[in-house]
Amino acid sequence: MDILRAQRWEIALSLAAEKGPALAALHRQLSIISKEIESLQRGDSEDAEGGANVEDGEFDAEAI
């Protein structure tokens, strides 16, 4: 997570110095890294909650 955050920070800092295709590539990388960070953070919060509370249904052997 720390590496992803550092990469995001470095990309964000370098955006102002780039133009053209390099700028577009950096925007794309920034988007990908941000989504990865968000996904990892969401996974951490789901793990902390212990999963969903789901009631067991009746077992139906004929359904198998």
| pLDDT score recorded for residue 14 | 93
Provide mean pLDDT across the span 34-41.
93
Q: Is the pLDDT score of 8 beyond 90?
A: yes
Q: Is the pLDDT score of 47 beyond 90?
A: no
How far apart are alpha carbons 31 and 48 in whole angstroms?
26
pTM for the structure as a whole: 0.62
How far apart are alpha carbons 53 and 9 in whole angstroms?
37
Q: Measuring CA to CA, how many Å separate 2 from each of 27, 30, 47?
A: 20, 15, 19
Q: Is the pLDDT score of 48 beyond 60?
A: no
pLDDT averaged over every residue in the chain: 85
| pLDDT score recorded for residue 15 | 92
| pLDDT score recorded for residue 12 | 93
